[in-house]
Amino acid sequence: MHCVVRTRRRDGRIRHAGVGRGVSIPVEQEQDIEQPVFVEQPMMQEDEDVAQHGWPGGPLDTSLLTRYSYHVARYIWFGTERIEGAKPELRIASLGSKLTGWVPGPGQHHPNIQGWLDESGLKWLERTSLSRVDPQILSAFTERWHPETSPFHMSFGEMTITRDDVVCLLHIPVRGLFYTPVPVSMEEAAALATELLGVPYEVAYLETSRLRGGTFTQQWCWIHEYFPTLGRRGESVHRCDDMGYPRATRWVYKQGKTKLPAYRPIMDALTPPDVIWRPFEGHRGSIPSNLITCFSGYLRGCTVVPYLPERCLRQFGFVQYIPPPPPHPATSYTDIDSLWSGYHTSVDRILQFTRPVRFDAETTADYLPWYYTVSHPILCRPDDGPHGAPPVPQFVPAYAPPKKFPATFLSIF
């Protein structure tokens, strides 16, 4: 029995019969082709070929990035990026300017409200939202995020926004009692705002219906802390380390001219020396190090996401080794809470295989060759040579450990 399908080559293009001889048609033109293709082989043949040989540009071993075939990085590599609208970058709305008008000055809250903010440890959140952020650079990092592991896949290994980064940037507590909020409708939320804050119901309902998604302030500030050469870094007048302010208040928006397509090769060319691996060491007077930030497992809020610091140990000052496979999804919220309560178990498991670094970006000898096998380390496809695009970049150490180093070393703990 014949089956009408469209088959796709490994280069991401659609194969069509009867249109020239072996001519490939870009994905965006496939809608113009009316002639179907009749094939008799199973549709899983190409998937099996990918599983055996990997993807051009990586991953060669598809056991880690199991969803790569649907990832935007794949379409960028093959030049078939799916763009909705005129701009490829994310559409980001920042609410910082609204908060500036809503939030009173320090000490100007009603005593009851200020008491709630102080007791919750969330008082700084109202003052750490930027009026604007750069959607170009945020989009460039989002393209390197993979849901299977949660970190960003850079050309030199994985990096993530750690719990320690969050605490230093926003000054929110990393410890506390479990809290599961009660779901409320938009009508109930607007009614609560009217009752507790005195906001007119119509205004509260309109704002509630408009607000969608989370804040990008944290990610934007994180980029500036770790990557001093990316984007335009505008610094505020606040001396955060001396004044005890959250490090997010260090940064102000400066409009950049670099667009998303230009950021991709710039980020492909980044090397470990371009990274400030532990940017918050000068902030320890306000936020001391805490072992719980090395907890490995799942974090739950409005969603459940994996948090795997064993994949980004250099950000904690430890030698990066080949991490174990990501854990299976937690079966219940109770399991997640139980693992969080016993965080020492996961911390001990992670740190028993490593030691403090002798230089900032130190890894084991086998880490980067392994990483280039299981990851897609660069987004921009190199110019095709006579034999096509190279399958994966070759690992050449860009740095070497110092010949001499102190007999004692410092740990962040």
Cα–Cα dist 31/379, whole Å: 26
Residues 6+ positions from 276 with CB-CB distance below 8 Å: 225, 226, 227, 228
Neighbours of 256 (CB within 10 A): 15
More confident residue, 346 or 40: 346
CA-closest candidate to residue 168, choices 227, 250, 252: 250
Rounded to an integer, the average pLDDT of 199-221 is 77
Rounded to an integer, the average pLDDT of 249-278 is 90
Per-residue confidence band for 127, with pLDDT thresholds at 50, 70 and 90: confident
Rounded to an integer, the average pLDDT of 11-33 is 41
CA angle 349, 354, 360 (to 5 degrees): 135
Cα–Cα dist 401/196, whole Å: 59
Does 257 score more than 90 pLDDT?
no
Rounded to an integer, the average pLDDT of 159-165 is 96
Cα–Cα dist 130/151, whole Å: 24
pLDDT tens digit string along 352-367? Answer: 999 999 999 999 999 9
Does 377 score more than 50 pLDDT?
yes
Mind giving me the DSSP string for 153-220?
A: EETTEEE---HHHHHHHH---S------PPP--HHHHHHHHHHHH---HHHHHHHHHH--S---HHHH
Does 180 score more than 90 pLDDT?
no
Q: Which amino acid is at 291?
A: L
> Residue 163 to residues 118, 222, 223, 373: CA-CA distances in angstroms?
21, 12, 15, 28
pLDDT tens digit string along 104-116? Answer: 665 667 777 778 8
Q: List alpha helices for 65-133, DSSP H.
A: 72-77, 96-102, 111-120
Contact (CB, 8 A) for 10 and 56: yes
Question: What integer pLDDT is reported at residue 206 of this predicted model?
Answer: 86
Lowest-pLDDT choice from 64-73, 249-258, 348-357: 249-258
Question: What integer pLDDT is reported at residue 169 of this predicted model?
Answer: 92
Mind giving me the DSSP string for 223-267?
A: HHHH-TTSS--EE-S--HHHHT--GGGGEE-------HHHHHHHH
Does 13 score more than 60 pLDDT?
no
Per-residue confidence band for 144, with pLDDT thresholds at 50, 70 and 90: very high
Rounded to an integer, the average pLDDT of 15-43 is 40
Rounded to an integer, the average pLDDT of 190-214 is 80
CA-closest candidate to residue 278, choices 229, 244, 317, 221: 317
Neighbours of 171 (CB within 10 A): 24
Cα–Cα dist 137/217, whole Å: 12
Furthest CA-CA distance within the chain: 78
